[in-house]
Amino acid sequence: MGFPPDKIKVCWNGVDPEKYDPNKISIDEKNNLRRNYNIADDENMLFFVGRLVTVKGVDSLLKSMPKVLEDFPKTKLVILGIGDLEWKLKSLAEQLGIKNNVIFRTEFVSEKERIIHYAASDCVVLPSIYEPFGIVCTESMSMGKPTIVGARGTNGFREQIIPNGEKQCGFHINPYDPNDIAWAIKEVLSDKNRSIWMGKNARKRVIEIFSWDAVTKRTLDIYKEFI
């Protein structure tokens, strides 16, 4: 953003990995949520959570779905959030011929229910075109989910997700390009073992860097360095 890098020390936000813990969500809780959305056991569940506004890139996510469904027809996208674009997005889903594969949940839900959504999903997709930090990404990572994030311009998601290498925990995509979003989704869905591995890496990264304990230590270290 144009500030002198040598004058900046970054201290990220944090989550509670004890609360956002995939091991604390039962199989029944996950199955019940999927059944409520009519998602069968053999279907993939993609999950987006956030405000339904332009900067969140939900329109590009919808436009990516026809490409995803070409290779993975048994896939449904759950969109959880409210915002000004609700009816425009619902109309877009109909125009694209994917309304039977997209579930809109346009209301506030409890934190507990949001956590179950993460746990029940196979992949979390957050294609924001602008994001200062984006706590939903950290929550997804803590829940052990491979997470696809927008990584153009000013975007805190880019710093959270490692997109390749031995610590990969998701993918960076161009949020303006539905084909790029579709590519990343298909990468996740095509290899279940790799998906699980990325999810484990994601949770490990949260515990090491984005837990409140780690954030507290980082904050104190910055003050000590300054003093």
What pLDDT does 154 receive? Answer: 85
- Extents of the domains making up the chain: 23-226
Residue 1's pLDDT band, with cuts at 50, 70 and 90, is confident
Q: Which of 76-80, 86-90, 153-157, 199-203 has the lowest mean pLDDT?
A: 153-157
pLDDT in tens, 135-174: 999 999 999 999 999 999 889 999 999 999 999 999 999 9
DSSP character string of the chain:
--S-GGG-------B-TTTS-GGGS-HHHHHHHHHHTT--TTSEEEEEES--SGGGTHHHHHHHHHHHHHH--SEEEEEE---TTHHHHHHHHHHTT-GGGEEEE-S---HHHHHHHHHH-SEEEE--S-BSS-HHHHHHHHTT--EEEE-SSSBTHHHH---SSTT--EEEE-TT-HHHHHHHHHHHHH-HHHHHHHHHHHHHHIIIIIBHHHHHHHHHHHHHHH-
CATH fold of 23-226: Rossmann fold (3.40.50)
What pLDDT does 2 receive? Answer: 87
